[in-house]
């Protein structure tokens, strides 16, 4: 067995507000340990996801008492971007593998560059067919959560219109508009339709709309996305779910401030794209502790880490997808693994103080260099 390039991996407790996911499961620990990679997990890191320290120890991990201990390892696995209080742990000989969304968090980008940290972003690891394998599981979770959250805040005592998603015999169901037919949008539409709402999905990609239509055979309406179709459907909607994604870049604004003003009073917006800046002009990032705000008479839900609401499910779904790539990075080093796997080359965001992903760099008004020349 080839000796790993990265011999120690740290998993700190997440510090983002109400973020209870953890970046590695005991099964993931077992796979790393089998390859001679030592895993050190901060005490209690998995408790929020219903994974106990004893579970990690049984799989071969060492429990360390502080965040500093976890961050001191050669590679750190996280779920969310480092917060300001974690910038002190960034350093030149560190590889950080996590969701970064640097287009939405320029301060994180600056901290990574200043520390010359090698960073790999889950959300920009991209296969040859354009799919994003490490974003997909959390997109599916967020998409399935979005109608659930929307239904909750449509209740009158939560500030909404007082509309039941499925209606009842003789009373119309809620009108749900989903902007985008990717993993988030499709998952949202499936759940909303399952709740018996009247669902319309909009997307510019007609092939994607054909796919949705073939699968759901009329239960979900599809529309080509353009300014007119967006305006007509959003103004009539009880719930609007924003699910527009640009890999590595800032989400485009598809619903203007003026259009939000024309929505039904106490309608609800769930902007799942908020962790990439949001696709609704009026949204700003919220937290699980304070998930909504009202603007122009419309309730806005814009939590930046939606899957954190169901951390047990999310943690296992995330590790299922990320573990093979984490193993490649540990065994070959970030740049070495990127030479072997082009998907990981897309995932590299910063190396040696420079940007190495063109889309991320462009979204931050900067230029990128090849990770193999950084």
Exposed/middle/buried for residue 7 (C-beta within 10 Å: 0-12, 13-18, 19+): middle
Paired tokens of 106: 């320029």
CA atoms lying within 13 Å on the CB side of residue 242: 31
Please choose, from the candidates 139, 57, 294, 129, the residue with its C-alpha nearest in 3D space to the C-alpha of residue 283: 294
Paired tokens of 63: 């429990």
Q: How far apart are CA 218 and CA 209, in angstroms?
A: 11
Paired tokens of 191: 């759940």
Q: How far apart are CA 267 and CA 336, in angstroms?
A: 50
Which residue's entry shows tokens 């120690």?
Answer: 8
Please choose, from the candidates 86, 94, 183, 95, the residue with its C-alpha nearest in 3D space to the C-alpha of residue 134: 183
Angle at the Cα of 276 from the Cα atoms of 274 and 278, rounded to 5 degrees: 40
Measured distance between the N- and C-terminal CA atoms of the chain, rounded to whole angstroms: 29
Pairing state of beta strands 8-11 and 118-121?
Answer: unpaired
Q: Which residues are designated catalytic?
A: 101, 275
Which residue's entry shows tokens 């899957």?
Answer: 307
Contact between residue 269 and residue 299 where contact means Cβ atoms under 8 Å apart? yes
Task: List the strands of the sheet with 8-11, edge to edge.
Answer: 62-64, 38-42, 8-11, 75-77, 95-98, 118-121, 348-351, 354-355
**Helix, strand, coil shares of the chain as percentages rounded to 5?**
40, 20, 40
Q: How far apart are CA 354 and CA 362, in angstroms?
A: 13
């Amino acid at each position: 067995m080839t000796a790993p390039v990265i011999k120690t991996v740290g998993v700190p407790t997440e510090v983002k507000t109400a973020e209870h996911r953890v970046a590695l499961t005991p099964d993931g620990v077992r796979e790393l340990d089998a390859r001679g990679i030592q895993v050190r997990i901060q005490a209690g890191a998995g408790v929020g996801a219903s994974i106990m320290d004893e579970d990690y120890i049984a799989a071969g991990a060492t429990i360390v008492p502080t965040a500093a201990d976890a961050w001191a390892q050669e590679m750190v696995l996280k779920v969310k971007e480092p917060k300001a209080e974690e910038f002190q742990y960034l350093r030149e000989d560190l590889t950080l593998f996590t969701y970064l969304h640097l287009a939405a968090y320029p301060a994180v980008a600056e901290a990574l560059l200043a520390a010359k940290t090698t960073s790999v972003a889950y959300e920009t690891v991209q296969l040859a067919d354009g799919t994003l394998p490490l974003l997909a599981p959390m997109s599916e979770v967020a998409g399935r959560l979005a109608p659930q959250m929307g239904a909750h805040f449509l209740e009158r005592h939560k500030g909404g219109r007082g509309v039941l998603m499925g209606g009842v015999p003789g009373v119309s169901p809620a009108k749900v508009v989903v902007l985008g037919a990717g993993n988030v949008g499709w998952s949202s539409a499936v759940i909303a339709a399952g709740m018996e709402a009247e669902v319309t999905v909009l997307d510019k990609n007609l092939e994607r709309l054909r796919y949705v239509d073939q699968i759901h055979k009329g239960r979900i309406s599809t529309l080509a996305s353009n300014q007119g179709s967006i305006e007509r459907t959003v103004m009539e909607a009880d719930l609007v779910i924003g699910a527009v994604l640009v890999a590595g870049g800032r989400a485009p604004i598809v619903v203007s401030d003026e259009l939000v003003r024309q929505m039904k009073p106490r309608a609800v917006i769930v902007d799942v794209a908020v962790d990439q800046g949001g696709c609704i002009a009026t949204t700003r990032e919220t937290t699980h502790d304070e998930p909504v705000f009202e603007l122009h008479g419309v309730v806005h839900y814009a939590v930046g880490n939606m899957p954190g609401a169901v951390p047990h499910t999310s943690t296992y779904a995330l590790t299922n997808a990320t573990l093979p790539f984490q193993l490649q990075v540990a065994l070959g080093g970030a740049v070495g693994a990127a030479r072997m796997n082009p998907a990981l080359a897309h995932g590299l965001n910063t190396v040696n103080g420079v940007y190495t992903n063109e889309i991320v760099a462009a979204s931050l008004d900067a230029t990128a260099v090849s990770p193999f020349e950084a």
